[in-house]
Amino acid sequence: MNRRKKHVLTASTAVAMTLLTVAGCGTSNATSGTQNNSGTSSSQTASSTIKIALQNDVSGFDPEKTASASTFKVTNNIFDTLVDVKPNGQLQPGLATKWHVSKNGLNWTFDLRKNVLFQNGKTLTAADVKYTFDRILNKQTGDPNISDFSEIKSISIVSPQTVKFTLSKPYAPFLASMALPWAAVIEQGTGTNLKNKPIGTGPYKLVKWVPQQSITLTKFSKSWDAKQAHIKTIKFVVVPNQSTRLMDLKTGIVDVSTVSPANASSVKSNAKLQLLSSPSNAVQIMAMNNKSKPLNNILVRQAIEYAVNKPAIIKAVDFGYGQEIGSHMPPNSPYYVNLNKTYPYNLHKAKQLLKKAGYANGLTLNMALPQPYPIHIKTGQIIAQELKQIGITVHTKVIPWSQWLKNVYLGRHYQLTVITHTGRLDPAQLLDRYEAGNKGNYFNFSDPKVTKDLKQAVSTTNQEMRKKLYQQVQTLLAKDAANVFIQTPDNLIGMNKHVSGWSTYPVDIYNLRGVRLSH
Give the pLDDT of residue 350: 98
In this predicted structure, what is the pLDDT of residue 47?
66
Report the predicted TM-score, pTM, of the whole model to 2 decimal places: 0.83
Across-strand partners of 91? Answer: 85
Which residues are 400's β-sheet partners?
371
The answer to whether the beta carbons of residues 470 and 480 sit under 8 Å apart is no
Model pLDDT, residue 326:
97
Residues near 461 by beta carbon (within 8 Å), at least 6 away in sequence:
101, 105, 170, 172
* Measured torsion, CA atoms of residues 185, 190, 194, 199, in degrees rounded to the nearest 10: -60
The per-residue pLDDT string of the chain (519 residues; one tens digit each, 9 = 90 and over) reads: 443 333 333 333 333 443 443 333 333 333 223 333 333 333 345 669 999 999 999 999 999 998 888 899 999 999 999 999 888 888 999 999 999 999 999 999 999 999 999 999 999 999 999 999 999 999 999 998 898 999 999 999 999 999 999 999 999 999 999 999 999 999 999 999 999 999 999 999 999 999 999 999 999 999 999 999 999 999 999 999 999 999 999 999 999 999 999 999 999 999 999 999 998 999 999 999 999 999 999 999 999 999 999 999 999 999 999 999 999 999 988 899 999 999 999 999 999 999 999 999 999 999 999 998 999 999 999 999 999 999 999 999 999 999 999 999 999 999 999 999 987 889 998 999 999 999 899 999 999 999 999 999 999 988 899 999 999 999 999 999 999 999 999 999 999 999 999 988 888 889 999 999 997
Measured CA to CA, the distance from residue 293 to residue 402 in angstroms comes to: 25
pLDDT at 26: 32
For residue 328, which of 481, 461, 491, 509 has the smallest C-alpha distance? 481
Q: What is the pLDDT of residue 68?
A: 83
- pLDDT computed for residue 45 by the predictor: 53
Separation of alpha carbons 223 and 488, rounded Å: 36
Domains of the chain: 80-189 (3.90.76.10), 282-489 (3.10.105.10)
90 and 109 in contact (C-beta within 8 Å)?
A: no
Q: Which residues contact 241 (CB under 8 A, 6 or more apart)?
A: none
- CA pair distance 394, 374, nearest whole angstrom: 18
Contact (CB, 8 A) for 319 and 309: no
User: Residues with Cβ < 8 Å from 92, sequence gap 6 or more?
Assistant: 1, 2, 83, 84, 85, 86
